[in-house]
Amino acid sequence: MNNLLARYHPIIDDPRAFDLVTSRSLDRFLWVNELRCEVDALRRMLVQSGFEVHRLPWHAPALRLTGAAEGLGRHWAYRAGLFQVQEASSMIPVLVLNPQPGERILDLCAAPGNKTAQMAMALKNRGTVVSNDIVGQRQRATRMILDRLGLLNVSLTCLDGVNYPRRAGVFDAVLVDAPCTCEGTSRRHPERCWREDPPYRQKAAKQKLLLRQAIRRCAQGGRIVYSTCTYAPEENEAVIDAVMKEWPDAVRLLPTHLPHLHSAPGLTRWQDARFHRDLVNSMRIWPHHNDTGGFFVALMEKTAATSPHSARTPRLGHAAPSAVSSDGWRRLDAADPVLVEIRRRFGLPVDAFTGLLVMRRNRREIWATTPDHRPPVVTKPSMGLPFIRVGNRYPKLTTAAAMLIGRSATRNRLDLRPDQLEAYLARRHFSLADDQNKLKSGGYALVRYQGHPLGIGCWHAASGRVESLYPKNVAVDTGHLIL
């Protein structure tokens, strides 16, 4: 077996420092959901829970946790959607793309969804992010992240990015975080640097196809970021060089720079190969420069149409479906009986659903997105958040909806104590203390901890106990729950 990282010593400024850092384990990183919590407030919570927490100088909402920082996914604040765990170097492509409110963004190879969530947050939970991955099973992870963080402005598709359809419309910016050999993740997965004959060239063939399609789907004047978590020039500079030679007038490389982040320029030569001179504008993230993982990031501008086919791609001109859409979605107004019942049950204000586009997807499912969302015109996109389940008797808020609107509830809400929190997250029944039981009647109750909504429970007045309705697929082993 070969140590693949040694092949990069000739292009690294300090090979010894590189080898030393890549032999050490990686710190944990996260970014704060500023829609729900301030950075300093979360930092105090984590410090009180025993974590050693530091600000990340080049990304204001991000934190580095040093020392023994395992178990972030078992922290109650993670379950409340106050933060997202993501490796620091993996945050860089979205920061370079720099999504702006009002833009329409495509994440072409999205799963497991961290960068999709970053982009949706950058748009301030408005507008449009289209999150695509060819493997539907992998998009389940994306769906779980979006639901937990309360991100309404995302449509999910499961299509081949190489042939992403023209009818999806054009985009102001496209991210191609391409599947790769993942050598930059070796601090978490050391086995990835000890392989015979890594498939650099096979990966590169697919990467070129993905980048070409990203450029086609991008509007003229728009931005494309190509990124990988590998060091291999065959999958990085060589891919961009090949596409730029095909379309020399259609795209140009822009400088990449983030204040306080140490990066190295891209290569213009590797072994016997020579690359476009502007590849120095791209960014190589070596682990020893910022004590992170490794990444490659290039930013391009689409300067001209790539072909008549792409030039005629229509820009979607309206928001999400109107009253009745051709794909079966039906918009609900504030007077709809289901929405009135939800407001009554939880004492929500009259304007509780203002700023939301609430739609019935079918007989049992109601979803919500933003009024300015422009979904792709493709078959069966998953648009926005699952919001209400309509049963035979009473409508039930989903966990995602409860976390989104639960702060404004004034009735049938339940504030948990630590032992009850553990029971709720483990899907166990629990009792209430006399001074806690302010529920007006049996049935659904909004469950909160320290003022932050966590989901829905069911108060059984006859037995005096609360049934946890926390989702089965995310229930926590509370023997290790971090409070």
Catalytic center residues: 229
CA distance 473 to 36: 23
Closest CA to 222 of 95, 105, 79: 105
CA distance 91 to 292: 11
Q: How far, in Å, are 193, 228, 231, 286 from residue 186 at the CA level?
A: 6, 13, 11, 12
The dihedral over CA atoms of 109, 110, 114, 117, expressed in degrees to the nearest 10, equals: 130
385 contacts 152 by C-beta, under 8 angstroms: yes
126 contacts 357 by C-beta, under 8 angstroms: no
332 contacts 360 by C-beta, under 8 angstroms: yes
Strand ranges (E), 134-234? 154-157, 171-177, 218-228
Ramachandran quadrant class, 400 (left: phi over 0; alpha: psi -120 to 50; beta: rest): alpha
Closest CA to 214 of 243, 180, 182, 255: 243
Total number of residues shown for the chain? 483
Q: Residue 462 burial (CB < 10 Å; 0-12/13-18/19+)? A: exposed
- Hey, is 281 helix, strand or coil? helix
DSSP 8-state symbol, 453? E
Residue with tokens 């109601």: 366
DSSP 8-state symbol, 194? B
The token duo for 434 is 């006399």
The one-letter code for the residue type at 209 is L
The one-letter code for the residue type at 96 is V
Beta bridge partners of 368: 358, 385
Residues 6+ apart with CB under 8 A from 282: 236, 237, 240, 253, 256, 265, 266, 296, 297, 298, 299
DSSP 8-state symbol, 474? G
Residues 6+ apart with CB under 8 A from 319: 357, 371, 372, 373, 374
Which uninterrupted H or E stretch holds 15?
helix 15-22
Beta bridge partners of 32: 83
